[in-house]
Amino acid sequence: ETGVTQTPRHLVMGMTNKKSLKCEQHLGHNAMYWYKQSAKKPLELMFVYNFKEQTENNSVPSRFSPECPNSSHLFLHLHTLQPEDSALYLCATTRDRSTEAFFGQGTRLTVV
Amino acid sequence: KNEVEQSPQNLTAQEGEFITINCSYSVGISALHWLQQHPGGGIVSLFMLSSGKKKHGRLIATINIQEKHSSLHITASHPRDSAVYICAVRGHGDKLIFGTGTRLQVFP
């Protein structure tokens, strides 16, 4: 248990669906991150939120839309995804930008 | 070429063996992380280090800043150590840059 909880753990969605991934942390951390992990590739940073403000968008397609309504919750809204978007999506938090990262269990997304 | 390279990509061992996983990087860093990812997907931070050596139980991590190299050692390996071990460096702008991981399987 890392203190970072992601739901759902598994998600299968069609290319025309709209779904959301949720990340919740009870660590009091100020920075929250979305990462994508595809098979045989390093983790790719997607978005960074610092004190609820988006500070980084790593050239992510607009079909991925993040939201950080408060310091404990981070969402990733998905719409009109492509099969190549199938991957493990990981949320992470840090107390600030330069400290140890705590990861959630990830959401395994399959786009059909 | 990735900025963070790990070797080997895959590693099998018998229970009790001493294991070494290597990480080389090509950028300036403020810290290096070793992470463990189990088959379920969740990632656990093992170490964050910027110099020298750290030890936690049977795990030891070392870093040589001049040579841009780090090693993760596991002593008296056990089947429960089977996982993917990921090296990540914190570069400029505090971004984490990840290696592709080393898949370790320890057999009884």
Nearest residue to A10 (alpha-carbon basis) of A110, A77, A108: A108
Give pLDDT, residue A83: 94
Q: Is the pLDDT confidence value at A30 over 80?
A: yes
Q: How far apart are the first and last CA of chain B?
A: 36
Give pLDDT, residue B95: 80
Residues B41, A100: C-beta atoms closer than 8 Å:
no
> Where residue B99 falls among pLDDT bands split at 50, 70, 90?
very high
> Where residue B71 falls among pLDDT bands split at 50, 70, 90?
very high
> Where residue A109 falls among pLDDT bands split at 50, 70, 90?
very high
Kindly report the average pLDDT of chain B as a whole number. 94
* Backbone φ, ψ for residue B94 (5° rounding): 65, 15
For residue B61, the distance in angstroms to the closest alpha carbon of chain A comes to 15
Looking at the partner chain, which of B30, B33, B41 has a beta carbon nearest the beta carbon of A88? B41
CA distance B33 to B99: 10
* B39 near A CB under 8 A: no
- Mean pLDDT of all residues in B71-90: 96
- Mean pLDDT of all residues in B88-103: 88
For residue B16, the distance in angstroms to the closest alpha carbon of chain A comes to 27
Give residue A75's Cα distance to chain centre: 7
Q: Which residues contact B48 (CB under 8 A, 6 or more apart)?
A: A99, A100, B31, B32, B33
CA distance B38 to B59: 16
> Token pair 């939120």 is at which residue?
A49
Q: Which residues contact B103 (CB under 8 A, 6 or more apart)?
A: B9, B10, B11, B84
Give pLDDT, residue A1: 72
Counting one residue from chain A and one from chain B, the pairs whose CB atoms sit within 8 A come to 50
In this structure, how many other beta carbons lie within 10 angstroms of the beta carbon of residue B4? 24
Q: Are A67 and A93 in contact (CB under 8 A)?
A: no
Residues A42, B100: C-beta atoms closer than 8 Å:
yes
Q: 3-state DSSP call for residue A85?
A: helix
Residues B43, A90: C-beta atoms closer than 8 Å:
yes
Dihedral sign for Cα B107, B47, B8, B69, please: negative
Q: How does pLDDT run across A58-85, given as a tens digit for each residue? A: 889 999 999 999 999 999 999 999 999 9
* B91 near A CB under 8 A: no
Looking at the partner chain, which of A41, A43, A98 has a beta carbon nearest the beta carbon of B94? A98
Residues of chain B neighbouring A90 (CB-CB closer than 8 A): 41, 43
Q: Is the pLDDT confidence value at A52 over 90?
A: no
Which comes out higher in pLDDT, residue A26 or B1?
A26
CA distance A47 to B76: 39
Q: How does pLDDT run across B23-52, given as a tens digit for each residue? A: 999 999 989 999 999 887 889 999 999 999
Residues B44, A2: C-beta atoms closer than 8 Å:
yes
Kindly report the average pLDDT of chain A as a whole number. 93
* B42 near A CB under 8 A: yes
Taking the CA atoms of chain A, what radius of gyration do you get in angstroms? 13
> Where residue A92 falls among pLDDT bands split at 50, 70, 90?
very high
Give pLDDT, residue A21: 98
- How many residues in chain B? 108
Is A91 buried (19+), middle (13-18) or exposed (0-12) by CB count in 10 A?
buried
Give pLDDT, residue A57: 84
- Mean pLDDT of all residues in B80-90: 96
Of all residues in chain B, the one with the smallest CA distance to A56 is B95
Of all residues in chain B, the one with the smallest CA distance to A92 is B43
Q: Are A1 and A16 in contact (CB under 8 A)?
A: no
